[in-house]
């Protein structure tokens, strides 16, 4: 089955909001082993919408439509869908009463404009929306209903005489869309799905290697027949996505597990987690909790970002003791015990100060591990000796304090973000017994590069820049 996702709204095309509905709907379709072949977005424009509906019907078996079900004049989805396929609009009295009841529950009277939300194309099935005023609809369209315009058909479209297309129109509001997709749409698709092949996919999260180098490291990896690899960048991480296809669900799952094991063996500690939810901060937190250990942070250039990442994970109070944002020299001395003479001699952005910050944090919070960051995030403040992007990251434990110098050439926000990620990754590597240094790599695809530039006699790591 070929699937298409179509999102509607001027705000999407103007870039006013991020269109996350596409990714959600495509991910949900994968649970039924249906891969999305097309993504499209159109304005609240009748001609554009009608054209998008025709194209989708000609080339896809399932079309998931998001947006345009509201009561205002620019909400045109149902009306244009009916016009496109020559259907009359019919009032559904039960839906109208549900909308009235929705307003009554909040002590309000329904405006007459909302009545349009109870109009549906003739022959459509209504999809209830218990948490909003916009019901969805399912409309089955025979391709014979399309206008005979062979000269204008998009490349790759099939003959309009073949089969039928199911349109599912849902609200654009994410919480309403999510509930309707899971409770109304997926069961209806599953009832019509005749699976002849199955696909299973995983998402392996890596940090410390660029996308191109990641692909190169896996180029000669032997994978089970029917497994393909995809790559995705989500700064500062890069993801590997193996997809396994087979004639049965069990076979596809077995192939996927073998592929994931092979990838992990090849990449080693570069892989830190799996799945959308297994962020680095969640992995570090779980490892600390399992060992009954604790961590604290002393931050300058990252400005509390490490603490923010750690505390975003539920249950972090069990292992995160606290953090200090010591941005000024006076704060470094007063709050972390960094000697004023050290700051005067070496400057705030230096290896000795990073070391003193980490040790001061560990002593004050009485934790197993303490991380510290100090640097020049930019865009100004650099000198030839200490350029913009120069950072020092320190990790203090009961046995030693290690410090690394790195130079990042991203923008200010990304310099801060990747520095925080390095600090978290070093805690993970320390817990695993792995070296703290990141692997040597070449410049990233966009020309952005972050690398350790060791001073004389000093060891340093290097981390490849990620594609923005």
pLDDT one-digit tens code per residue, 126-162: 999 999 999 999 999 997 666 544 434 444 444 434 5
- Rounded Cα distance between 133 and 262, Å, is 49
Confidence label for 106 from pLDDT (cuts 50, 70 and 90): confident
| DSSP-derived 3-state class of residue 429 | helix
Please tell me if the domain spanning 3-192 has the same topology as the one spanning 280-436.
no
Q: Is the pLDDT of residue 445 over 70?
A: no
- Rounded Cα distance between 402 and 394, Å, is 6
Give CA angle at 292 (286, 294), nearest 5°.
80
Architecture of the domain spanning 280-436? Alpha-Beta Complex (3.90)
Virtual CA dihedral for 111, 112, 117, 123, nearest 10 degrees? 160
For residue range 251-293, list pLDDT tens digits in order: 999 999 999 999 999 999 999 999 988 999 999 999 999 999 9
- pLDDT score, position 159: 40
- Tell me if 238 sits within 8 A of 455, measured CB to CB: no
Q: Spelled out in words, what is the top-level CATH class assigned to the domain 3-192?
A: alpha beta
Give CA angle at 377 (209, 339), nearest 5°.
110
For residue range 166-186, list pLDDT tens digits in order: 999 999 999 999 999 999 999
Let me know if domain 198-274 sits in CATH 1.50.40.10.
no
Q: Is the pLDDT of residue 444 over 70?
A: no
- pLDDT score, position 438: 65
Domain assignments of the chain as residue spans, ordered by start: 3-192, 198-274, 280-436
Mean per-residue pLDDT for 12-29? 93
- pLDDT score, position 238: 94
For residue range 25-53, list pLDDT tens digits in order: 998 998 888 989 999 999 999 999 999 99
Q: In what order do the strands lie in the sheet with 125-127?
A: 36-42, 3-8, 62-66, 164-170, 136-142, 125-127
Confidence label for 196 from pLDDT (cuts 50, 70 and 90): confident
Q: Is the pLDDT of residue 246 over 80?
A: yes
Confidence label for 468 from pLDDT (cuts 50, 70 and 90): very low
Mean per-residue pLDDT for 356-366? 98
- pLDDT score, position 199: 85
Q: Is the pLDDT of residue 390 over 80?
A: yes
- Rounded Cα distance between 142 and 58, Å, is 9
Element (H, E) at 455: none
- pLDDT score, position 63: 98
Phi, psi for residue 421 in degrees, rounded to 5: -65, -40
* Structure token pair of residue 365: 């919070």
277 contacts: CB under 8 Å, gap ≥ 6 = none
For residue range 110-129, list pLDDT tens digits in order: 999 999 999 999 999 999 99
Mean per-residue pLDDT for 194-223? 90
- Rounded Cα distance between 198 and 244, Å, is 8
- pLDDT score, position 241: 93
């Amino acid at each position: 089955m070929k699937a298409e996702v179509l999102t509607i709204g001027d705000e999407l095309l103007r870039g006013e909001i991020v269109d996350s509905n596409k990714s959600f709907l495509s991910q949900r379709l994968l649970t039924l082993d249906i891969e999305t072949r097309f993504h499209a977005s159109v304005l609240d424009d009748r001609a554009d919408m009608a054209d998008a509906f025709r194209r989708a019907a000609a080339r896809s078996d399932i079309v998931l439509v998001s947006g345009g079900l509201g009561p205002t004049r620019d909400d045109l989805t149902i009306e244009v869908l009916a016009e496109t396929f020559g259907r009359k609009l019919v009032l559904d009295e039960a839906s109208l009463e549900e909308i009235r009841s929705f307003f009554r529950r909040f002590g309000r009277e329904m405006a007459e404009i909302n009545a349009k939300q109870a109009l549906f194309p003739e022959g459509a099935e209504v999809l209830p929306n218990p948490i909003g005023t916009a019901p969805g609809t399912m409309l089955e369209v025979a391709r014979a209903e399309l206008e005979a315009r062979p000269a204008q058909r998009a490349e790759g479209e099939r003959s309009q005489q073949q089969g039928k297309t199911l349109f599912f129109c849902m609200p654009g509001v994410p919480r309403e869309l999510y509930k309707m997709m899971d409770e109304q749409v997926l069961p209806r698709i599953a009832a019509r799905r005749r699976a002849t092949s199955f696909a299973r996919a995983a998402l392996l999260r890596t940090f410390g290697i660029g996308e191109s180098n990641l692909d190169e490291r896996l180029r000669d990896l032997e994978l089970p027949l029917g497994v393909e690899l995809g790559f995705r960048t989500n700064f500062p991480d890069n993801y590997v996505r193996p997809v396994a296809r087979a004639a049965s669900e069990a076979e596809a799952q077995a192939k996927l597990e073998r592929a994931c094991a092979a990838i992990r063996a090849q990449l080693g500690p570069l892989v830190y987690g799996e799945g959308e939810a297994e962020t680095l901060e969640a992995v570090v937190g779980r490892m600390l909790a399992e060992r009954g250990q604790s961590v604290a942070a002393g931050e300058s250039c990252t400005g509390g970002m490490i603490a923010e990442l750690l505390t975003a994970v539920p249950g972090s109070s069990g292992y995160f003791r606290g953090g200090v944002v010591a941005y000024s020299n006076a704060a470094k001395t007063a709050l972390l015990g960094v000697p004023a003479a050290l700051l005067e001699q070496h400057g705030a952005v230096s290896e000795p100060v990073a070391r003193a910050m980490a040790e001061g944090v560990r002593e004050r919070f009485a934790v197993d591990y303490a991380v510290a960051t100090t640097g020049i995030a930019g865009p100004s403040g650099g000198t030839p000796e200490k350029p913009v992007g120069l950072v020092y990251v320190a990790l203090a434990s009961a046995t030693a304090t290690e410090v690394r110098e790195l130079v990042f050439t991203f923008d200010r926000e990304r310099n801060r973000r990747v520095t925080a990620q390095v600090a978290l990754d070093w805690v993970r590597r320390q817990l695993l017994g792995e070296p703290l240094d990141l692997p040597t790599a070449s410049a990233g695809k966009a020309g952005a590069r972050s690398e350790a530039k060791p001073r004389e006699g000093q060891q340093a790591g290097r981390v490849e820049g990620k594609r923005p």
